[in-house]
Amino acid sequence: MKKWMVWTSLSLAAMLAGCNDDGLDAITTVDSNFETGTDNWVAEFAEYDTTTVDSTLTMKFAQTRLPTGLDTSQHAFRIQSTNRSDDMFMYLKKKVTGFVPNATYLVQFDINLATNYPANSIGVGGSPGSSVYFKVGASGAEPARKLQKTFYQFTLDKGQQSQGGVDAIVLGDVANGREDSKYALIKKTNSDKPFTIKANANGEIWLFVGTDSGYEGLTVLYYDRIKVTITEQQIN
């Protein structure tokens, strides 16, 4: 089945006003399937030591086709890295604009991810499937990394590995739901616990999705689709 057409609604002011006049919540949808590009999602890496030789970290990302075993006519955002610090965080981020400054929003992520790591598989430091934790987050501040001595630290509070933080929640791990190492598409959603966030003073919200790794090896993942629904919360 073909993926849905990518589309992004950025909530024009007139549309927002119309929704509010009718007593309805204003909704913005970001829907990226990476068929024509990265849709302004940017890949970054954090929580690793700069004294480690870069070639051993194998940090790479690109728009590419889905891997063999899935529909290779379809595209995805591929990202990979090798965890040498027992805590590599690799993530995609995207800025969305046009919100009411300082207003409160609920953020729901619905993600299709291609992975080939079985649950409880054995690896150095942990399982390639069960010890790589999947996280989603939102903030008025940009997700980034900052250098502290020789270590790149993530600038937001995402928590550590299996734990969430102020700016991120954990949606399980990257296990493929199979007994073997064949690729499968898994779905990740926080529909049962939408993320609450305030837009910043410029009416911007930063979104990010990523993996916090406790597995000391190579992780390769394909983001097949990222859909984010952002709903303004009306104050009565």
pLDDT given at position 177: 94
For the chain, which residues score pLDDT lower than 70? 1-25, 53, 85-86, 125, 235-236
Q: What is the second-level CATH architecture of the domain 7-232?
A: Sandwich (2.60)
pLDDT given at position 15: 38
pLDDT given at position 4: 43
pLDDT given at position 7: 38
pLDDT given at position 75: 98
Q: What is the mean pLDDT of the chain?
A: 88
Kindly report the pTM of this predicted structure: 0.87
pLDDT given at position 235: 64
pLDDT given at position 12: 34
pLDDT given at position 23: 38
SS (H, E, C) the chain: CCCCCCEECCCCHHHHHHHHHCCCCCEEEEEECCCCCCCCCEEEEECEECCCCHHHHCCEEEEEECCECECCCCEEEEEEEECCCCCCEEEEEEEECCCCCCCEEEEEEEEEEEECECCCCCCCCCCCCCCEEEEEEEECCCCCEEEECCEEEECCCCCCCCCCECCEEEEEECECCCCCCCCEEEEEECCCCCEEEECCCCCCEEEEEEEEECCCCEEEEEEEEEEEEEEECCCC
